[in-house]
């Protein structure tokens, strides 16, 4: 089989569409609004965090490919995107070696040792955040210099939250979670440039909304629901982390089911949980369901009745 | 479609390869074994449970019809494991270091599954089933002890209760291996290292060039 | 008529500017002609001549045992040999090699009978004796299709003039230059199936062709011109049948039992030549295009001419030429040996430069699901590729790998440049052996 492919080139002979580098560049452009906001708010901390994490990820991936004598995979740009996502999940006042340790764990243990790009089972950025949170609990909870509380903690305690401050960026959290407006701009760029389909974020949002209305305890309180959407990293997870190519199902029906599962578990964690970072553990749990979801949503082919517009 | 999905689910848990059943017991001992002393306790419990239950079950093998044999084995295993664990708890050496009373049903179930699936000679006479159970018990206990030593080293920088100060300074803030998630990753690391040692030993065994190439390429894939 | 639309497909840049406005030019060959005896649906034509025989134009040199699948010589000369030669799809067939003596003596053709006096069976037997097949790659024989659909059983006769693959312009030029021949073919079809609706399907970037055909069929009842939006696999028979009638079939033969028959424009011209002029099929129009050829255009080539001579006659290649492809750019085959003959299933010859066709190294699949978004059959090529690599036939069939129509859309959009169509075709071929 390999012989046949090596001697003669096969069709198609023209190529179009994206390459993997152009996809990664589009993702980086959609992350630019939140990166700029983080630099504006946290000044040099953010710059150093992002710089050190991205460099560590690239270096570790190159080193791993060099040691195991396999083909160099830094070229497809996924290490850069993973590095930026890990850096945005760190609190701004954490020490700088957090990014390095998180990058090493994400690239080596989660991505490379589980099969490389396209074959890993859990999201590397979310896994790195969970790993750092469990290993260094004291330094990873320092979200602000002052005494301000996390938005999710406030929501759970029952205090009132100013949603406008969450949208504009006046709140407290890890660097990627603070400004809902920048995240929404990035989400619009992602959809318009054709990188992701809206099935996962849409079903995630709708099922989260329904669960909050039914079980939230406050009915249709618009302020509460808006605060739940805008704060605590919900937008970041829904648009940038849950839509990762490898760990999301590949069928459209499967993506809707995946989003619904994520929404149900996130609502449970927000209503009856007590930690801000639980949403990242939820992402890891639902990622493990993906092969099962794919096997039960095989699409019907054209001749058996699938895929026709009326 | 529902039948297919249920079948798929059980296939993934138990697997066509019977060693996947050990995953359940692995989950159990990761939470039980936090340091080397509890490792020794769990290991001893396992050896005694396997040996005694294999001994008793081999006598009952000829009497009981085939269809309910598995359930009877599990029942006997459970009784023996419970009594042994309670007996071990009374030994003063283990008092301060273990909370084994929480894990009695756990050890019982794990032993039951392993013995019933992994012990191929339990239906013959009592001597071969005893030998079998002893082999499995000793290897299992040694592995658990090794695991306990590593875990204790990584969490509190001590081996068998003896402190090593310089390492403690580095590991002071690193709490990952105290949790079960760290325990699973440590188990994966140990399993990976043992697989690598196995591959190196197999490579050395096939000194012939032709065989070496094919074996090496097969192992690499 | 309202068209049904389907999900999937890709919008390609047409690349047709080079040869769109070139009139059809005939090529006069000088070298030896090779006629491969290609089997069709279980029957194989046998040679009627042997080495040393003298043949003239129009003389039958091969045929199957039941009188169909005839092959006719397109030049006059002496038969050199009957030997095994390679065809452009890399298979080896028995072939008749004729040495061209350059004189083009015409032999005897059949007499022309007025079409009103011929019955359905007589026309079908005539087309079978002339061995007319669909002029596309993997085409069925017209005799089989007409025999299976039976007399007066057709609801729709669809004439496929949608050229959705880039670079191909030969059908477009046929509409403009040979529109009389096409109209004669429509008359034959009306005589064969008086009660059916004849639909001429033309792509929406060929506006002049639409105008010309509409003018010609202005007052004819039951003949329509449909404009098909030019999305990539719209010109495939099954896709076209769905868009017009709303029913999905696996291949053309299944559609015959429902009364829908699909005929290519080139085949129609061969039919009209056979019925109105008594000429057997001896030539076809192909497109020569790409940045690597000196004179791109549409050329009428006699069957049996070698591709090397065609390229040489039209001026050869220039220094930009990188690869030569037989067929369209998405479903064609790369030619390593240019000494292969032109048969009835070769649609075009493309000489592409390096700028047009970059050769990328395939990387690992990143599961981006672009192939699933684009597949017109609603399959998931990523899963089929995964199981094809592992050799898992059961799962390959569970994900409906046998419904792939090998259009090449998935390999076109893959960001990692994986040849998905090849893996799926390999699995399907090895399944066909069971």
pLDDT for residue A5: 45
Q: How many CB atoms are closer than 10 A to CB A310?
A: 5
Predicted confidence (pLDDT) per residue in A120-156, tens digit: 999 999 999 999 998 888 888 877 776 566 766 666 6
pLDDT digits 0-9 by tens, C131-149: 888 888 777 888 888 888 8
Q: Distance, in angstroms, between B180 CA and closest chain A CA?
A: 11
Residue B88 lies inside a defined structural domain of this protein: yes
- Closest chain A residue by Cα to residue B174: A135
> What is the band of B50 on the pLDDT scale with cuts at 50, 70, 90?
confident
User: Quick check: A53 pLDDT over 90?
Assistant: yes
Confidence of residue A310 (pLDDT cuts 50, 70, 90): very low
C356, C378, C390, C422: best to mutate for the A interface, most A CBs within 10 A: C378
- Give domain status of residue B186, yes or no: yes
Under 8 Å between Cβ of A38 and A89:
no
Classify residue A202: in a domain, yes or no.
Answer: yes
The number of residues in chain C equals 434
Inspect the interface and report whether the beta carbons of B1 and A296 lie closer than 8 Å.
Answer: yes
Q: Is A127 helix (H, G, I), strand (E, B) or coil?
A: helix
Question: Residue A29's pLDDT is what?
Answer: 94
* pLDDT tens, position by position, A176-216: 888 888 999 999 999 999 999 999 999 999 999 999 888 87
- Examine residue A303 and state whether it is found in any structural domain, yes or no: no
What is the reported pTM?
A: 0.86
**Has residue C348 got a pLDDT over 80?**
yes
Strands (E), C290-372: 297-302, 321-326, 333-334, 348-353
Nearest CA in chain C to A7: C336
Euclidean distance between CA atoms C228 and C201, whole angstroms: 6
Q: Does A20 touch chain C (CB under 8 A)?
A: yes
Determine, for residues A9 and C323 on separate chains, whether the beta-carbon distance falls below 8 Å: yes
**Looking at residue A198, what is its pLDDT?**
93
Task: Kindly report the three-state secondary structure assignment for every residue of chain B.
Answer: CHHHHHHHHHHHHHCCCHHHHHHHHHHHHHHHCCCHHHHHHHHHHHHHHHHHHHHHHHHHCCCCCHHHHHHHHHHHHHHHHHHHHHHHHCCHHHCCCCCHHHHHHHHHHHHHHHHHHHCCCCCCCHHHHHHHHHHHHHHHHHHHHHHHHHHHHHHHCEECCEECHHHHHHHHHCCHHHCHHHHHHHHHHHHHHHHHHHHHHHHHHCCCHHHHHHHHHHHHC
In chain A, residues with a C-beta closer than 8 Å to the C-beta of B13 are none
Distance (Å, whole) CA C142 – CA C123:
11
Ramachandran sector of residue A64 (left: φ over 0; alpha: ψ -120 to 50; beta: rest): alpha
Confidence label for B19 from pLDDT (cuts 50, 70 and 90): very low
Closest approach of chain C CAs to the CA of A116, in angstroms? 9
Flag if A250 and C250 touch (Cβ within 8 Å). Answer: no
Q: Kindly state the average pLDDT of the residues A44-72.
A: 92
Q: How many CB atoms lie within 10 A of CB A99?
A: 27
- Give me the number of domains chain A comprises: 1
Tokens of residue C131, six digits: 């061995």
Helix (H) or strand (E) run with residue A296 in it: helix A290-296
Would A178 be classed as within a structural domain? Answer: yes
pLDDT over 70 (residue B85): no
| A234-255 pLDDT per residue, tens | 999 999 999 999 999 999 999 9
Does residue A97 carry a pLDDT above 60? yes
Q: CA B36 → CA A270, B42, B94, C382, distances in Å? A: 38, 10, 11, 47
Residues from chain C contacting residue A294 (CB–CB below 8 Å): 383
Q: Residue A139 sits in which domain range?
A: 2-153+161-294
Cβ contact C413:A16 at 8 Å: yes
Helix (H, G, I), strand (E, B) or coil at C349: strand
Give just the sign of the alpha carbon dihedral B181, B187, B188, B193.
positive
Interface test with chain B among A98, A133, A135, by most B beta carbons within 10 Å: A135
Inter-chain CB proximity B185 and A109 less than 8 Å: yes
CB nearest A136 (choices: B8, B173, B179): B173
Residue ranges making up the domain that contains B106: 7-220
pLDDT(B92) > 60: no
Residue B210 CB neighbour total at 10 angstroms: 8
Distance from chain centroid for Cα A153 = 21
Of A165-169, A221-225, B119-123, C327-331, least confident by mean pLDDT is: B119-123
Residue-level pLDDT at B121 = 60
pLDDT mean over C1-6? 84
pLDDT band at A79 (very low <50, low <70, confident <90, very high): very high
Residues of C in Cβ contact (< 8 Å) with A18: 370, 413, 415
- CA dist., res. C352 & res. C359, Å (int): 12
Closest C-alpha among C40, C39, C37, C31 to residue C82: C37
Q: How much is the pLDDT for A4?
A: 45
The DSSP code sequence of C120-178 is HHHHHHHHHHTT-B-SSTTPPBHHHHHHHH-TT--SEEEEEE---STT--HHHHHHHHS
Q: Does A147 touch chain C (CB under 8 A)?
A: no
Chains near C (3 or more Cβ pairs under 8 Å): A
Name which of A12, A301, A306 is nearest C412 (Cβ-Cβ): A12
pLDDT band at C250 (very low <50, low <70, confident <90, very high): confident
Can you tell me whether residue C287 is helix, strand or coil? strand
Q: What is the pLDDT of residue B1?
A: 52
* Of A132-146, B5-19, B111-125, C2-16, highest mean pLDDT: C2-16
Position with higher pLDDT, B98 vs A184: A184
Distance CA C244, CA C236 (A): 12
- At B88 the pLDDT is 65
The residue with greater pLDDT, A145 or C36, is C36
Give the chain A residue nearest C417 (alpha carbons). Answer: A19
Shortest CA distance from C406: residue in chain A: A11
Instruction: Identify the pLDDT of residue B198.
Output: 84
* Chain A interface mutation, best of B3, B170, B173, highest count of A Cβ atoms under 10 Å: B173
Closest alpha carbon to A134 in C287, B185, C78, C8: B185
Tokens of C282: 């001896």
Greater model confidence, B8 or A269: A269
Chains touching chain B at 3 or more Cβ pairs under 8 angstroms? A
Residue A37 pLDDT: 92
Q: Which residue has the higher pLDDT, A308 or A80?
A: A80
Q: What is the DSSP string of A159-222?
A: ----HHHHHHT-S-SSTTTS-HHHHHHHHHHHHHTTSS-SHHHHHHHHHHHHHHHHHSSSTT-H
In whole angstroms, what is the distance from residue B83 CA to residue B78 CA?
A: 9
- The CATH number for A177's domain is 1.10.3430
CB distance A255 to A249 below 8 Å:
yes
Look at residue B6 in the predicted model and tell me its pLDDT: 58
pLDDT score for A157: 66
pLDDT score for B91:
61
How many structural domains compose chain B?
A: 1
In a domain, A24, yes or no: yes
A297: closest chain B residue by CA: B1
Residue that wins the pLDDT comparison between C39 and B93: C39
Residue B153 belongs to a domain: yes
Tens-place pLDDT, residues C313-323: 888 888 888 88
Distance between CA atoms of residues C216 and B79, nearest Å: 95
Residue B78: inside a domain: yes
pLDDT at C335 over 70: yes
The verdict on a CB contact (< 8 Å) between B176 and A292 is: no
pLDDT in tens, B112-168: 666 565 555 666 677 777 887 788 778 878 888 888 888 888 887 777 777 777 777
Per-residue pLDDT tens over the stretch C349-408: 999 888 888 788 888 899 998 999 999 989 999 999 999 998 889 889 999 988 888 888
Contacts of A12 in chain C (CB under 8 A): 329-331, 408, 411-412, 421
The Cα–Cα gap between C90 and C332 comes to 12
Contact residues, chain C, for A258 at CB < 8 Å: none
| CA-based nearest distance C234→chain A, Å | 14
CB contact under 8 A, A309 and C7: yes
B104 token code pair: 């009695």
Q: Which residue of C has its CA nearest to A302?
A: C377
Residue A310 lies in a domain: no
pLDDT at residue A27 above 90?
A: yes
Question: What DSSP element (H or E) covers A280?
Answer: helix A278-287
Rounded to the nearest angstrom, the minimum Cα separation between C69 and chain A is 30
pLDDT at B25: 63
Q: Are C352 and A294 a contacting pair at CB < 8 A?
A: no
B1 lies in some domain: no
Q: What is the DSSP letter of C341?
A: B
pLDDT at B120: 58
Structural domain includes residue B2:
no
Residues of chain C with C-beta less than 8 angstroms from the C-beta of A11: 325, 329-333, 408, 411, 421
* Inter-chain touch A5–C408, beta carbons under 8 Å: no
Q: How many residues does chain A have?
A: 310
What ipTM, to 2 d.p.?
0.89
Task: Give dist(CA C61, CA C74) in Å, integer.
Answer: 10
- Which chain B residues in 180-209 lie under 8 Å from chain A, judged by CB atoms? 181-182, 185
pLDDT of C118 above 60? yes
**Closest C-alpha to A106, from A144, A140, A142, A80:** A80
Given a cut of 50, whether residue B189 has pLDDT beyond it is: yes
- Is the pLDDT at B18 greater than 50, yes or no? no
- Residue A302 domain flag: no
pLDDT at position A2, please? Answer: 47
Average of per-residue pLDDT values in chain C? 87
H helices within C32-95, ranges in order? none
Separation of alpha carbons A75 and A72, rounded Å: 7
Contact C228, C202 (CB under 8 A): yes
B3 at the A interface (CB within 8 A)?
no
CA distance B24 to B18: 12
DSSP reduced 3-state for A297 = coil
**B174 contacts in chain A (CB < 8 Å):** 135-136
Q: Is the pLDDT of residue B184 over 90?
A: no
- Whether residue A252 lies inside any domain: the answer is yes
């Amino acid at each position: 089989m390999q012989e046949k492919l090596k001697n003669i080139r096969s069709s198609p002979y023209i190529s179009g569409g994206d390459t993997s580098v152009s996809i990664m560049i589009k993702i980086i452009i959609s992350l630019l609004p939140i990166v700029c906001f983080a630099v504006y708010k946290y000044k040099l901390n953010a710059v150093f965090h992002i710089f050190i994490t991205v460099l560590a990820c690239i270096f570790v991936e190159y080193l791993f490919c060099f040691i195991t004598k396999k083909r160099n995979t830094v070229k497809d740009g996924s290490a850069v995107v993973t590095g930026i996502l890990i850096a945005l999940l760190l609190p701004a006042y954490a020490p700088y070696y957090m990014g390095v340790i998180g990058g090493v764990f994400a690239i080596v243990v989660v991505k490379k040792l589980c099969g490389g790009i396209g074959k890993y089972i859990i999201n590397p950025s979310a896994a790195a955040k969970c790993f750092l949170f469990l290993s260094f609990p004291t330094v990873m909870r320092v979200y602000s210099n002052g005494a301000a509380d996390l938005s999710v903690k406030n929501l759970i305690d029952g205090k009132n939250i100013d949603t406008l401050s969450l949208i504009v960026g006046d709140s407290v959290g890890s660097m990627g979670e603070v400004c809902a407006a920048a995240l929404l701009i990035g989400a619009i760029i992602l959809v318009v440039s054709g990188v992701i389909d809206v099935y996962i974020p849409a079903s995630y949002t709708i099922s989260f909304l329904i669960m909050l209305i039914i079980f939230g305890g406050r009915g249709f309180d618009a302020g509460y629901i808006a605060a739940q959407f805008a704060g605590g990293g919900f937008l970041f997870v829904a648009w940038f982390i849950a839509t990762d190519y490898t760990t999301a199902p590949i069928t459209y029906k499967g993506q809707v089911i995946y989003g619904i599962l994520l929404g149900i578990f996130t609502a449970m964690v927000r209503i009856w949980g007590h930690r801000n970072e639980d949403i990242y553990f939820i992402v890891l749990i639902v990622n493990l369901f993906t092969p099962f979801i794919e096997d039960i949503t095989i699409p019907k082919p054209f001749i058996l009745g699938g895929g026709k517009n009326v | 479609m529902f039948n297919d999905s249920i079948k798929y689910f059980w296939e993934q848990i138990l697997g066509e390869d019977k060693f996947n059943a050990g995953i359940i017991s692995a989950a159990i001992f990761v939470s039980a074994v936090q340091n080397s002393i509890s490792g020794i306790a769990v290991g001893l419990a396992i050896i005694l449970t396997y040996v005694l239950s294999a001994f008793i079950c081999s006598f009952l093998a000829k009497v009981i019809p085939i269809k309910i044999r598995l359930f009877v084995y599990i029942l006997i295993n459970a009784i023996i494991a419970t009594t042994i664990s309670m007996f071990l708890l009374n030994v003063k050496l283990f008092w301060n270091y273990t909370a084994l009373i929480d894990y009695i049903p756990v050890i019982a179930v794990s032993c039951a599954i392993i013995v019933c699936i992994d012990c191929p000679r339990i239906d013959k006479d009592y001597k071969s089933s005893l030998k079998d159970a002893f082999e499995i018990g000793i290897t299992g206990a040694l592995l658990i002890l090794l695991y306990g030593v590593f875990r204790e080293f990584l969490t509190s920088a001590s081996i068998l209760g003896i402190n090593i100060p310089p390492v403690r300074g580095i590991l002071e803030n690193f709490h990952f291996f105290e949790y079960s998630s760290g325990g699973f990753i440590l188990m994966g690391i140990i399993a990976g290292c043992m697989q690598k040692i196995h591959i190196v030993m197999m490579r050395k065994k096939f000194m012939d060039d032709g065989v070496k190439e094919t074996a090496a390429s097969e192992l690499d894939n | 008529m309202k068209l049904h639309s389907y999900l999937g497909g890709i919008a390609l840049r047409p690349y047709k500017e080079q040869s769109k406005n070139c009139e059809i030019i005939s090529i006069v060959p000088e070298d030896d002609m090779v006629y491969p005896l290609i089997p069709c649906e279980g029957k194989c034509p046998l040679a009627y001549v042997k080495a040393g025989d003298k043949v003239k134009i129009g003389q039958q040199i091969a045929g199957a045992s039941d009188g169909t699948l005839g092959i006719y010589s397109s030049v006059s000369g002496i038969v050199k040999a009957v030997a095994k030669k390679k065809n452009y799809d890399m298979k080896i067939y028995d072939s008749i090699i004729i040495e061209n003596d350059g004189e083009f003596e015409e032999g005897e053709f059949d007499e022309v009978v007025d079409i009103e006096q011929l019955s359905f069976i007589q026309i079908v037997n005539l087309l079978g004796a002339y061995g007319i097949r669909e002029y596309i790659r993997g085409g069925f024989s017209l005799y089989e299709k007409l025999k299976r659909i039976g007399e007066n059983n057709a609801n729709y006769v669809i004439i496929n003039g949608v050229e959705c693959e880039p670079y191909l312009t030969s059908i477009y030029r046929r509409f403009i230059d040979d529109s009389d021949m096409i109209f004669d073919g429509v008359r034959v079809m009306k005589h064969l199936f008086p009660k059916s609706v004849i639909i001429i399907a033309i792509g929406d970037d060929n506006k002049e062709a639409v105008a010309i055909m509409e003018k010609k069929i202005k007052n004819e009842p039951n003949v329509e011109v449909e404009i098909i939006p030019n999305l990539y696999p719209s010109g495939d028979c099954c896709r076209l049948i769905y868009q017009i009638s709303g029913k999905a079939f696996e291949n053309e033969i299944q559609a015959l039992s429902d009364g829908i028959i699909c005929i290519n424009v080139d085949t129609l011209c061969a039919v009209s030549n056979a019925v109105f002029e008594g000429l057997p099929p001896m030539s076809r129009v192909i497109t020569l295009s790409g940045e690597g050829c000196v004179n791109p255009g549409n050329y009428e080539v006699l069957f049996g001419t070698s591709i090397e001579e065609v390229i040489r006659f039209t001026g050869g290649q220039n220094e930009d030429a990188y690869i030569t492809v037989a067929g369209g750019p998405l479903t064609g085959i790369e030619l390593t040996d240019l000494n292969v003959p032109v048969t009835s299933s070769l649609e075009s010859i493309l000489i592409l430069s390096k700028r047009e066709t970059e050769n990328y190294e395939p990387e690992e699949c990143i599961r981006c699901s672009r192939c699933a978004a684009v597949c017109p059959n609603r399959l998931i090529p990523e899963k089929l590729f995964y199981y094809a690599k592992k050799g898992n036939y059961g799962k390959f069939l569970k994900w409906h790998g046998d419904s792939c129509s090998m259009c090449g859309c998935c390999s076109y959009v893959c960001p990692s440049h994986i040849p998905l169509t090849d893996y799926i075709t390999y699995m399907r071929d090895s399944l066909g052996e069971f």
